[in-house]
Structure 1
Amino acid sequence: MRSVVERVIAPFAVDRRVLALAGARMADGIGNSFLIIVIPLYVTSGIVGGTAFGLEESLIIGVILSLFGFLNSSFQPVTGRLSDRLGRRKPFILAGLAGLALTNIAYVFAETYVSLLVIRGLQGVSVAFIIPASVALVNELASSGDRGGNMGVYNTFRLVGFGAGPAVAGAVVNLGPYTLPSGVMVNGFDAAFYIATITATISYVLVTVLVSDPESTAANAGADLSIPIRDRTGPNLLDPIFTLGLASFFMATGIALFATIQPEVNARLEQGATWFGLQFAAFILAQVALQTPIGRACDRYGRRPFIIGGMVLLIPTTLVQGFVLSSMLMFVARLFQGVAAAMVFVPSLALAGDLAGKGESGSKLSVLTMAFGYGIAAGPLSSGALVGFGFRVPFVFGSVLAVFGAILVYTQVEETLETTAPVPVFGSE
């Protein structure tokens, strides 16, 4: 049995605490992504009432969902800096998971728009405790020689959870009500909220039992936690971590353009919802498949070549989505856009981790996670506003952002690995 387990985890050969944390984030990711599908269904079910502030039903759904991302991203620098100041990560992760579990179960009792807004907002704040502390902990458990691989494993598990939730959430709701062994009837919505609560609780237990802070975190608490914009020590104009934050924002905005224009995409390609779902999933599939190998490769060949290559690849893969007229070609474009994003995100975290001084991981890495979160929120708003000027316009906008991101990284970010192996040429040994 032991040999079987070892073979299963061999591709994820990292510190067991990183693997445990990755598993915990996968579990809470399943529950949290459940709600992306369930909340709109819940709002339109007729269960929810009360004041909607004069907003249409579709708009109040958008506000409820976007509030999570806005508060999550806004609070990440605060919690990241606080965890640096105190020199502890685990308590922040546990506090966030506890908040997530409590707010998940609170949906069972929420029957007004106001209560949904309050609960979703508290969830955003809860996750803001989890993300910076988790990424900082992964960074501190790694070294410069395996930081990319550790970040890749962590993000792979997180994305598996995030992708798995929506795939089954609708079915859980539609197949209800359920009869428990005790004879109690549970409707589909409550079942979904209970599942989300259980996954957050599982994550809490995993972190409690299997994850611990390294001693160096507490020893280096209270370092310089400022986030400079200008480069203080190098020859460049902008601070490299701030630059990577800008590039992450541009990338996230570009990849999120697709999500909110489903009617326009389906009408243009003369396709149904199934094809759109496959095209949306193609991006996540590429991310899941490539995060770990790209992370390990950037440990060997350097961070900068992957980040620049990914930003450059993001330009055509975003632009072409505005011009293709085939469902299959859109699927391929989304797949390669996922490849581009995988080349950027994990090496960027690894490079920022290399630059972060002792006791600064929470503050420094939260710049990237915050920027990515804001980009994910800005993308749908941008596409919704720009698609009225023509179907191609949002994707042209996204590709222009990718151009700026590539230029910024090329001119303002230096390699952090002291020695790197030569990048292999295709077909060479």
Structure 2
Amino acid sequence: MRLFDTDRRVLTLAFARMADSIGNSFLIIVLPLYIGSGVVTGQTFGLGVALVTGIILSAFGFFSTALQPIAGYLSDRTGSRRIFIVVGLLILTVANFVYSLVDSYALMLAIRGLQGIGVAITIPSTVALVNEVTTDDSRGGDMGIFNTFRFVGFAAGPILAGSVVNGGPYRVAGLAMTGFETAFYIAALGSLIGAVLIMLFVEDPHPDEQDAEAGSDIGFAVFDHDHDTLIDPVFALGLALLTVAIGIALIEPLQTDINNHLDQGAQLFSIEFSAFIVAQVFLQTPIGTASDRYGRRPFILGGLIVLVPAMLAQGLVTTPIGMIATRLVQGAAAATAFAPGFALAGDIAQDGNSGTTFSVLTMAFTLGTAIGPLLAGYLISFGYVVPFAFGAVLSALGALLVYSQVEETHATAAETPGGAQPASQD
């Protein structure tokens, strides 16, 4: 682990992403409670309240998914990652704050869409910038550090959100605010802190050296015309990470079913949910660093293979401790795929095209977290084990894609002259 030797720009981007993740993950808990509190009223467009609520919550993911390739392409064309990150975070700041001012379903849907736009502008440029300030021999570790901080923020947000909402009302500097308003203000503050950190401490690495041909084509390749594989390796990797993201999100709408099946309460479910994130936090960086030494593909493939029994076991265990154990294994397997997967895409990305390249992976992950809950809510009607078995099948398909369509991209230490160790970064 090389945290203190990491480029300060990577650490700043990681801290900014953590602050933003805390704010955004607040809303995972707060928005359903806010919509169900009776504050939000108005026309439901002829749909049931529950369905409208689901549409509002899902709009974020679908808006973000659709726009990420465009945002990545534009950041490639301009050669300026920093301004896209800052603008996206400022949009999120405004959206998070405005939640406290609206009380209708239509406006909630509009703001949720605005959030999606802010994230779409931010994420591809952020990951591309991390990639561009790393070296081939440190990319896996740096991606691991970045993802670790992101998951720390993602884990901390829901834990804090419940306490903030239940602890209201508050009076700050003579101003009274409800628990919901306070939560929205904290979410806005998280995005604002991220924007300030980027403005103060991060610059584009080569602002005057943008390749004129970079990003000349919007979108990304689906089929590979340069190698023996059928599918473009980045697109294949994106599909594989899509299966991982769907598997992660399957558990979200199944809390009641899981609690009934395991005869447990909400507290144990929260521990089970958090077990996945704990594994991510502790393993992302060491696994990413190991991929710098031993190669990317073995870790990605191994993680996807382990996900198959880990996903299926969640539908078969009959005790809370069994569920916690399987969630830890799922988290470890996902961590084994994530950092090396992003590092592999960084190895492939051409100069000036990182935004478009990484938009494939970030779009896949966002889409997976959006459709996972919808799939789980539908599949549970066929039996308790069905959503988990479906997740296992998807993981197997992801492993098959990586095995057949993704080649190793990184020369390991043993393959370099004299078995040289990976270079450290100043």
TM-score where L is the length of structure 1: 0.93
In structure 1, what residue type is equivalent to 2:205? P
In structure 1, what residue type is equivalent to 2:74? L
- 2:226 matched residue in structure 1: 233
- 1:357 matched residue in structure 2: 350
- Please give the per-residue CA displacement for 1:204-246, whole angstroms capped at 9, x wherever unaligned: 1100000110116742254254521121211111111011011
Q: Report deviation, 1:54.
A: 2.9
In structure 1, what residue type is equivalent to 2:19? A
- Please give the per-residue CA displacement for 1:171-218, whole angstroms capped at 9, x wherever unaligned: 11111111123x221111111111111111111110000011011674
2:260 to 226, 245, 267: 267
Matches within 5 A, 1:5-404: 11-181=3-173, 183-215=174-206, 218-223=209-214, 224-225=216-217, 226-404=219-397
Structure 2: which 5+ runs fail to align? 416-426
- The 3-state SS of whatever aligns with 2:253 is coil
Using the alignment, how far apart are the partners of 2:412 and 2:38 within structure 1?
61
C-alpha contact 2:292 2:412 (8 A) present in aligned 1: no
Using the alignment, how far apart are the partners of 2:66 and 2:225 within structure 1?
25
Using the alignment, how far apart are the partners of 2:161 and 2:10 within structure 1?
28
C-alpha contact 1:132 1:366 (8 A) present in aligned 2: yes
Using the alignment, how far apart are the partners of 2:334 and 2:211 within structure 1?
33
Q: Report deviation, 1:60.
A: 2.2
Using the alignment, how far apart are the partners of 1:218 and 1:75 within structure 2?
26
Using the alignment, how far apart are the partners of 2:376 and 2:246 within structure 1?
9
TM-score where L is the length of structure 2: 0.94
Using the alignment, how far apart are the partners of 2:138 and 2:97 within structure 1?
38
Using the alignment, how far apart are the partners of 2:402 and 2:32 within structure 1?
38
C-alpha contact 2:3 2:145 (8 A) present in aligned 1: no
Q: Report deviation, 1:375.
A: 1.1
Per the alignment, do residues 119 and 153 of structure 1 end up closer, same or farther by CA in structure 2, a change over 3 Å counting? same
- The 3-state SS of whatever aligns with 2:252 is coil
Q: How many percent of aligned residue pairs carry the same amino acid?
A: 53
Poorly superposed stretches of 4+, deviation over 6 Å: none
In structure 1, what residue type is equivalent to 2:153? G
Cα RMSD (Å) of the superposition? 1.5
In structure 1, what residue type is equivalent to 2:306? L
Per the alignment, do residues 47 and 109 of structure 1 end up closer, same or farther by CA in structure 2, a change over 3 Å counting? same
In structure 2, what residue type is equivalent to 1:193? F
C-alpha contact 2:80 2:207 (8 A) present in aligned 1: no
Using the alignment, how far apart are the partners of 1:338 and 1:184 within structure 2?
42
Q: Report deviation, 1:376.
A: 1.2
Q: Report deviation, 1:421.
A: 3.9
Structure 1: which 5+ runs fail to align? 1-8, 423-429
Between 54-63 and 78-87, report the one with greater CA deviation: 54-63
Using the alignment, how far apart are the partners of 1:221 and 1:321 within structure 2?
50
